[in-house]
Amino acid sequence: MKQEDLQHDIERVVTRVLPLVPKGKAIEKSEFQAILNELLVCLHENTKLGIDSIAQKTNKVISDLPNEFGRLPEDAKSWETFIGYLYGKYLKELGML
């Protein structure tokens, strides 16, 4: 995947998923699950892979989260960055990057 295509995909996914993020409060498990589910749908639509194939990577994506996204400086963390990280991490785990 070309860098500019990837960047465009990430921007579209962030725009689509960001409205699911609750404003001004800590995120609950059900809300996080809704965000993750929408992300999986985006991945399915953009890669044409089956949802089950994508979902199989969830444990790896989540387990790597603290050591990858968690190490970013606080001023670099945002919901936009988080959604983009998750999307890119799934693509990497699916062998598409």
Per-residue pLDDT of 48-69, as tens digits, reads: 999 999 999 999 999 999 999 9
In-domain check, residue 34:
yes
Distance of CA 16 to the CA centre of its chain: 11
Give the model's pLDDT for residue 1.
66
In-domain check, residue 21:
no
User: What distances in angstroms separate CA 7 from CA 1, 12, 30, one per listed residue?
Assistant: 10, 9, 28
Counted domains in the chain: 1
In-domain check, residue 64:
yes
In-domain check, residue 23:
no
User: What is the pLDDT tens value at each position of the chain, 97 positions in all?
Assistant: 678 888 999 999 999 999 999 887 788 899 999 999 999 999 999 999 999 999 999 999 999 999 999 999 999 999 999 999 999 999 999 998 8
What is the domain range of residue 60?
A: 3-11+29-93
In-domain check, residue 39:
yes
In-domain check, residue 78:
yes
In-domain check, residue 79:
yes
Q: 39 with 17: CB under 8 angstroms? A: yes
